[in-house]
Structure 1
Amino acid sequence: MDVRQLRYFLAIAEEEQITRAAQRLHMAQPPLSHQLKLLEQELGVQLVERLGRKLKLTEAGRTLQRRAEQIVGLMEATVSEIVEHESGIRGTLSIGTVATTGSTLLPERIRAFHQRYPMVHFQLWEGNTHQITQLLERRTIEVGIVRLPIDDTKLYDMIRLPTEPLVAAVSHNWNQGESDSPIRLSDLADLPLMLLRRQQGTSIYEQTVEACQLAGFEPRVLCESADIMTLLTLAEAGVGITIVPKSAVSLRTSTRLRFREIVEPSLESTAAVIWLRYRVLSTPARRFIETISPTSTEL
């Protein structure tokens, strides 16, 4: 068993088909099937089972997949580090982020990181928390910036970011007291609310609804959306009021939209930087995480 065979096996495991794996590896299907058979013979176990046209990993196959990812990742990181001794840190750093936190956390850190490591290229992905964790699990990105809580916490290491309040984004057309004064949650009882769509791992919707119920009313949810910019645009147009993290203030500079602190009760949200616990990170990813915190903390 060598690294080449492990790469072949990982492609099969991820594509769940010999045909697609062979296309991905730019090789013919029969040699790839033969390599899988040789690997099973060498280990003396069945690694995959056929379910129609798809392949499913056996328990032994899943174990090998985890180990192969670590071995191949360590090999790639080792080669990268050796090259970097001569030419400096280079490569591509893929980061996924939820919109509000990414807009406040990333610009200054990317600027400083680029000044220090000018040969590192960035790929940025944006989505909700569930989408970011999927990108991490597919290994499309190395680092994710999400809102807590997340599912399957044992999969990740993380650095928690400071907790921030949720605020009400209100059009200037809405007459809800002084424009800069805090607003009680009960003041929103008879008003149409627009909330971040419920997603796996996203709690702002549930948190808001539960808080409204505890305040003695059932919220009038007019609209749900996974796109915070869509909610802010609708709020600016006077369609309704949306509740968003305070960092969303930086996404919208229009004077027609006012952000009001929510009191009685106050609502909060916590974001975090996360990465797969058992993945060998590239040097750029490790260095970037160090810019968030000198010592990363585990879940």
Structure 2
Amino acid sequence: MNSKQLQYFLVTAEQGSITAAARHLDVAQPAISLQLANLEHELKAKLFARDFRGVELTEAGKKFEKHAQLIMGQMQAAKSDLAGDQSEYKGKVILGLSQSNCNVLSIPLLKELEHRFANIELVYKIGPSFEVEKWLAEGSIDLALCFTPMNINTSSKALPIIDEDLFLYISKQPQNPSYSELALYSNLPFTDLQHYEIFVPEQKDALTQLLQLEAQKRGIKLKSKRGFGQLMTTLHYVTQGVGLLICPSSATFHLEQSGQVRPIRMIEPNLSRMVYLQMAEQKQNNNIVKAIFELVREVSADTHAKQHWRGKLLDEKYRRTEPNNVADLLDQQTENYSI
């Protein structure tokens, strides 16, 4: 039994014929007849007496009509109640993101927003790390994912979301002969990077500064090659086998899934960087900004669970519990099928 069957039943009873109900609902007559037949079969009762003039409720149909009206009334009340809750969350929220964060979060965030907060408009402002932090400090955005904790004041603390792993990405079919040996590696010591030319963002970017700091600690000089500003353009060169790039899986998970790139884990040390979620100072008491803040936390945990964003999840609130082994997975599937 479903809401469509109940609706068709009530309209048919009101109109006195299936033909009239079809006109009223703008639905094909056979579709209504099929749904009514399914409903009678499920209830094991004849709801309508049919003759050349139309249809008339049977005694069983009259009893069921009262229940159907009550159920449909309760469903409408539930919808109105939820719509009332959502109406409290209405407005625009601007979220600052790096290109890699946007790649992994933008679509799932909008999908969840559509279901939960249809009256909130979420706008993405995309830029390099230093620009995102500047926008947050000056208040031109409401929320941001940053790589530097910006404690603007005591009530605006940065929430650590994930310590994201950084990988060296290479095409599965490298065209540069110097990359051939890399195709065999799954791990690479950081000091070995000095032998390869690598795409890097501009000097002020948090990733470039992290790589330079690690190189200084180990007394090596990296052969860096300026990227193209747009991450997807740089990644295109990598997929074509004519470039190397260090970045998190959030930037490349879609290319890994399609087999266009392969990650090489950086070791000695294991390269990673912290990602923080922070709210602008003047938005601390804004309910719709708080709602999006929580939504970002939840979606971040979900993308981590799917291995789209790899690293150590630091924000435990929405962590998904995953099966520990094959036996656990089979038990979970059996439980799901039994529902």
Compare CA radii of gyration and give the structure with the larger one: 2
Provide the residue aligned with 1:192 in structure 2. 197
**Does residue 159 of structure 1 match 2:159?**
yes
**Does residue 219 of structure 1 match 2:218?**
no
In 2 relative to 1, CA 272–134 (structure 1 residues): closer, same or farther, beyond 3 Å?
same
For the residue of structure 2 that corresponds to 1:163, the secondary structure is strand
What RMSD in Å do the two structures reach over aligned CA positions?
A: 3.1
- Measure how far apart 1:244 and its partner are: 0.9
Contact 1:95 1:143 in 2 (8 A): yes
In 2 relative to 1, CA 211–118 (structure 1 residues): closer, same or farther, beyond 3 Å?
same
- Unmatched runs of 5 consecutive residues or more in structure 2: 1-83, 299-314, 318-339
TM-score by length of 2: 0.54
- Measure how far apart 1:277 and its partner are: 2.4
Distance 1:208 1:214 in 2: 10
In 2 relative to 1, CA 194–179 (structure 1 residues): closer, same or farther, beyond 3 Å?
same
- Which shifted more, 255-264 or 231-240? 231-240
Distance 1:140 1:117 in 2: 22
Task: Identify the structure with the greater helix proportion.
Answer: 2
Q: Which amino acid aligns with 1:229?
A: M
For the residue of structure 2 that corresponds to 1:123, the secondary structure is strand
In 2 relative to 1, CA 279–218 (structure 1 residues): closer, same or farther, beyond 3 Å?
same
Q: Which amino acid aligns with 2:167?
A: V
**Does residue 243 of structure 1 match 2:242?**
no
- Measure how far apart 1:281 and its partner are: 4.8
**Does residue 229 of structure 1 match 2:232?**
yes
- Note the alpha carbon deviations across 1:220-241, whole angstroms, 9 max, x for none: 1122454322332232334432
**Does residue 133 of structure 1 match 2:133?**
yes
- Of structures 1 and 2, the one with the larger relative CO (CA 8 A, separation 6+) is 1
Contact 2:150 2:158 in 1 (8 A): no
Distance 1:177 1:142 in 2: 42
In 2 relative to 1, CA 205–251 (structure 1 residues): closer, same or farther, beyond 3 Å?
farther
Contact 1:185 1:262 in 2 (8 A): yes
Distance 2:266 2:85 in 1: 52
Distance 2:293 2:86 in 1: 23
Provide the residue aligned with 1:111 in structure 2. 111
Count of aligned residue pairs for this structure pair: 211
Provide the residue aligned with 1:149 in structure 2. 148
Provide the residue aligned with 1:175 in structure 2. 180
In 2 relative to 1, CA 242–152 (structure 1 residues): closer, same or farther, beyond 3 Å?
same
Q: Which amino acid aligns with 1:181?
A: S
- Unmatched runs of 5 consecutive residues or more in structure 1: 1-83
Q: Find runs of 4+ consecutive structure 1 residues off by over 6 angstroms.
A: 294-297
